[in-house]
Amino acid sequence: MKKLNDDIISALLKKAVGYEAKEVVEEFVVDETNTPVLSKRKVTYKDMPPDVGAVKTIAELLNGDDIKGLTTEELEKEKGRLLGELSKIERGGTDKTHSESKKNKNMRR
């Protein structure tokens, strides 16, 4: 059960801070011996932006506060604060310059 909880929290953090996804599409043709043979392979990388819903869920879990009544502006401010905290956790340090630049980058999206 603990592993499941850890996996859920990990997925939630990933979605909250954004991530890059790799998508592979392969096309096969059948040769004369009825064996599938790879004919094309396309690899695409997609940038998945941070998700406000995931940030809101994390805020509720961390703070225990009911933040349903917050305005969009207040949610965006909280999102920036939490993204800064999450990037510190991911790096294992407290490099404020990197956190602030990442937070500013995310706020422009």
Cβ(26)–Cβ(38) below 8 Å: yes
pLDDT at residue number 65 = 58
Instruction: Report the 10 Å Cβ neighbour count for 4.
Output: 8
Domain ranges across the chain? 2-17+50-108
What does the angle CA 62 – CA 11 – CA 25 come to, to the nearest 5 degrees? Answer: 160
Q: Which of 2-16, 26-40, 57-71, 88-102 has the lowest mean pLDDT?
A: 88-102
pLDDT by residue (tens digit) across 19-68? 999 999 999 999 999 999 999 999 999 999 988 888 888 877 777 656 66
**1 vs 104 pLDDT, higher one:** 1
Q: Whole-model pTM?
A: 0.47
